[in-house]
Amino acid sequence: MKTMKLGDSIIRVSEEQTNAKLAAGYKYCPRSEWKKIRDAGKKAAKDAEAKAKSENKAEKNAETSLKGKARKNRGHDDDRELVIRNA
């Protein structure tokens, strides 16, 4: 496989296609350039996925916290009522 560039377009081609692409005006370029372009989309998707995951985790933690408070306060409508029952 060879990495070739024409303008802003970077492609990977097999050895058999190399001569045809050279005739079409493509030039060789380093594979590292191709990797930057290839991985740019993956990084953006990965960042978006991580952000969504952290938001979901925060929502879940908030729900769990509220459920725990509800269990602790079960049957107690008011703090005054709690004092009266314990007295």
CB 1 within 8 A of CB 13: yes
Q: What angle do CA 39, 20, 41 make, to 5 degrees?
A: 10
- CA–CA distances in Å: residue 62 to residues 4, 10, 56, 74, 84: 51, 46, 10, 18, 31
How does pLDDT run across 12-26, given as a tens digit for each residue? 999 999 999 999 999
pLDDT at 40: 82
pLDDT in tens, 20-67: 999 999 999 999 999 988 888 777 777 778 887 887 777 777 767 666
pTM of structure: 0.47
